[in-house]
Amino acid sequence: MTNLKKLLLLWLLAAVFVPLGCKQNAAQRDLQEGVAAFEQHRWSDAAAFFTLADQKRPNQIHVLMLRGLAYLNMNRYPEAWSDFDRVLNIQPENAEAKKGRGEANLGLGNYADAAADFSDALAAGPDDVFSLNSRGYAMANIGNEEAALADFQRALELASDNPLVYYNRSAVYRRQGNLEAERADLDRCLELDRQNALFLAAHGKVLFELGETDAALAELNEAVAANPNYFGGFKYRAGCWKSLGRWQEARDDYTRAIELQPDDPELWFERAAAEGQLGNQEGYDRDMAKYEELTR
């Protein structure tokens, strides 16, 4: 997913300054409470206060924008989409609302709609890296890899130190089977941010596929240490153990990945295979039953 920093800063500042010149009333107090919660990243509290403000004084643009952003931070994409769409019904040319609705569409898997929203935003600001990266991500997910790569290239011409763009481009190269290009982009990600478990895990995975087993496992260990709550580090490391025939380690990592991402059917299938290799028929049957339930 893409970085919301610009949206957060712009609309947080707008919300902070608007109440100061206004007559104090209940809606403004709710707004100020929401802003305080928002600044502290208490997203649920912020959304609740913004809802109170909206009920008392509907259709304030900054209230809807900030609540939409709070919903995005909670991955509540339908509610976020609704708030940004309300803004656009009031201000059809609001580029920031187009970005917000685009981000909600990405979360909902509405990639064509997301691409359209970011295209509209780019019409107002053609050099906006956030929108280029986001549209590239959407284009990649609707199979338009050429357009995606063009957006990522333009974004990197404008911001060569943005690791998220390299990461998203690396995923396109993976789909194309170009592991060397994928690795080069992930190399750059780690040059820019070596603490990011997402980058470490993806880099470790491609290193393993390129035959650099020791380096791959070292990086996957780093990924797990950097963020023990990111399922991908455990999933990719489990895949390495599986390829090496180390089934107990594979089972343990698949178990942790399942704890973090229980609705991923692939994880249940892979752990079933590990259970089978370890001679645990009960575990195999349990995991296959769960896999079949999730893929029904």
pLDDT in tens, 7-53: 555 555 555 555 444 445 788 889 989 999 999 999 999 999 999 99
> Is residue 70 included in any domain, yes or no?
yes
In this structure, is residue 113 part of a structural domain? Answer: yes
User: For position 135, what pLDDT does the model report?
Assistant: 98
| pTM given for the model | 0.88
Q: Which pLDDT value is given to residue 8?
A: 55
Give residue 23's domain range: 5-233
Contact predicate 255/238, CB 8 Å: no
Q: How far apart are CA 148 and CA 135, in angstroms?
A: 7
In a domain, 9, yes or no: yes
Statement: residue 188 has pLDDT above 50: yes
Per-residue pLDDT tens digits for 250-270: 999 999 999 999 999 999 999
For 57-125, where are the alpha helices, taking DSSP H only? 61-73, 77-90, 95-108, 111-124
Tally the residues of the chain.
Answer: 296
In a domain, 252, yes or no: no
Is residue 20 a part of any domain in this protein? yes
CB neighbour list of residue 141: distance below 8 Å, 6 or more residues apart: 111
- Is 21 among the domain residues? yes
What is residue 181's three-state secondary structure? Answer: helix
Number of domains into which the chain is organized: 1
Q: What is the mean pLDDT of the chain?
A: 93
Query: What is the mean predicted confidence (pLDDT) over 70-93?
Result: 97
- Confidence bin at 213 (pLDDT 50/70/90): very high
Angle at 217 between CA 214 and CA 220, to 5 degrees: 150
CATH of residue 151's domain is 1.25.40.10
Task: Give the list of residues 6+ apart from residue 102 with CB closer than 8 angstroms, or none.
Answer: 113, 114, 115, 117, 118, 121, 131, 134, 135, 138
Q: Percentage of the chain with pLDDT > 90? A: 89
Residue 238, in any domain of the structure? no
Q: Is the pLDDT of residue 247 over 60?
A: yes
In a domain, 110, yes or no: yes
pLDDT of residue 21: 47
